[in-house]
């Protein structure tokens, strides 16, 4: 993976748009903001920017070298990206959670198309020798293990919220693995979403601290893998995305569910199902097609914006 200095810096409006897309994806259990970063060609730049938060950065700040410190963490990239993500989460958390509760088939059919389209395009950058195929299989298996877990009941104390945030953010940065879904598995999704809606700092602060901690630790490993074994790591990530399709398939049968104290239904176990009618299948295929077409359009937008290809 080429160093960041060799890349054309994406424009601020493009980065904000990427943040909006990532925030929207992260709200939906089963869809990854990391997938959107990969699709939009800012994934490598994002990893490098986050990896810049290290002891050397503290040294630069201690010596008052503000310009070098800002350059080390690519502040001109991170600030608009985070602004987009934050805006998207705050603005879209209500409509997307409403769609998730009332029209999940439509929502997941669209995202299914997004992921399928991105797998096809991103796979061009993977290594498809024996090691790449093994990495892809490992990614598929790992994703299936994660997305088929049954949600558990966990307390909502600050320490549990902290480490739940750390686990979720590691998933959010991985294409194909949804941090929101892992929050669902850990029994924290509804609690955190309600905290976002109500700006409940008692939950949001430990969750944010957990996210920061998990992100700083995990990104270094992922960045090293991309530098050392780029093709095989991309194949691994393609496998993660392919395995996650099990959870994003729009037609499902609920096997076990429960109701929260607020009367909301939470699915504990489900299984794949066929479409209930030809009309439902037609609508789902249309939305999937729109998702695939959108990914193709995003690739063209990347070229026009001077951004790296998918996976950047």
- For the chain, the average pLDDT equals 80
Residue 311 lies in a domain: no
Residue 135 lies in a domain: yes
Q: Which phi and psi (to 5°) does residue 63 adopt?
A: -90, 0
CA angle 121, 124, 126 (to 5 degrees): 120
Q: How many Cα atoms within 13 Å fall on the side-chain side of residue 167?
A: 17
Which helix (H) or strand (E) element contains residue 252? Answer: strand 252-259
CA distance 58 to 64: 10
Residue 153 lies in a domain: yes
Residues 63-122 have pLDDT tens digits of 888 888 888 888 889 999 999 988 988 887 788 778 877 888 888 898 888 888 878 877
Report how many domains make up the chain: 1
Residue 310 lies in a domain: no
Predicted confidence at residue 287, as pLDDT, reads 93
Q: Which residues pair with 252 in a beta bridge?
A: 272
Share of the chain above pLDDT 90, in %: 11
CA distance 223 to 257: 38
pTM: 0.68
Full residue range of the structural domain in which residue 301 is found:
4-305
Residues 149-200 have pLDDT tens digits of 655 566 788 888 898 888 888 777 776 666 776 777 677 777 787 888 778 8
CA trace torsion 257, 193, 75, 16 (10° rounding):
90
Residue 292 lies in a domain: yes
Residue 298 lies in a domain: yes
Buried b (16+ CB within 10 A) or exposed e, 46-74: bbbbbbbbeeebeebeeeeeeeebbebbb
Task: Residue 50: name the closest of 217, 182, 163, 209 by CA.
Answer: 217
Residue 312 lies in a domain: no
């Amino acid at each position: 993976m080429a160093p960041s200095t060799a890349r054309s810096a994406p424009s601020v409006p493009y980065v904000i748009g990427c943040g909006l897309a990532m925030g929207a994806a992260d709200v939906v259990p089963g869809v990854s903001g990391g997938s959107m970063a990969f699709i939009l060609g800012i994934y490598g730049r994002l990893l490098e920017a986050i990896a810049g938060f290290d002891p050397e950065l503290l040294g630069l700040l201690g010596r008052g070298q503000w310009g070098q410190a800002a350059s080390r963490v690519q502040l001109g990239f991170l600030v608009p990206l985070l602004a987009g993500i934050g805006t998207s989460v705050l603005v879209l958390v209500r409509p997307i959670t409403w769609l998730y509760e009332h029209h999940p088939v439509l929502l997941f059919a669209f995202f299914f198309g997004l992921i399928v389209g991105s797998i096809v395009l991103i796979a061009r950058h993977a290594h498809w020798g024996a090691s790449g195929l093994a990495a892809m299989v490992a990614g598929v298996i790992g994703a299936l293990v994660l997305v088929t877990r049954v949600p558990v009941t966990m307390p909502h104390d600050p320490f549990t919220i902290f480490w739940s945030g750390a686990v979720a953010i590691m998933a959010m940065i991985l294409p194909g693995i949804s941090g929101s879904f892992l929050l669902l598995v850990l029994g924290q999704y509804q609690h955190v979403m309600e905290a976002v809606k109500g700006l409940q700092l008692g939950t949001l602060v430990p969750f944010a601290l957990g996210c920061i901690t998990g992100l700083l630790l995990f990104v270094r490993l992922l960045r090293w893998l991309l530098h050392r074994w780029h093709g095989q790591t991309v194949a691994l990530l393609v496998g993660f995305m392919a395995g996650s399709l099990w959870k994003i398939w729009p037609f499902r049968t609920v096997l076990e569910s429960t109701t929260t104290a607020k009367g909301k239904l939470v699915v504990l176990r489900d299984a794949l199902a066929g479409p209930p009618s030809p009309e439902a299948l037609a609508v789902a295929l249309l939305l999937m097609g729109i998702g695939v077409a959108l990914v193709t359009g995003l690739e063209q937008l990347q070229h026009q914006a001077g951004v790296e290809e998918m996976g950047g």
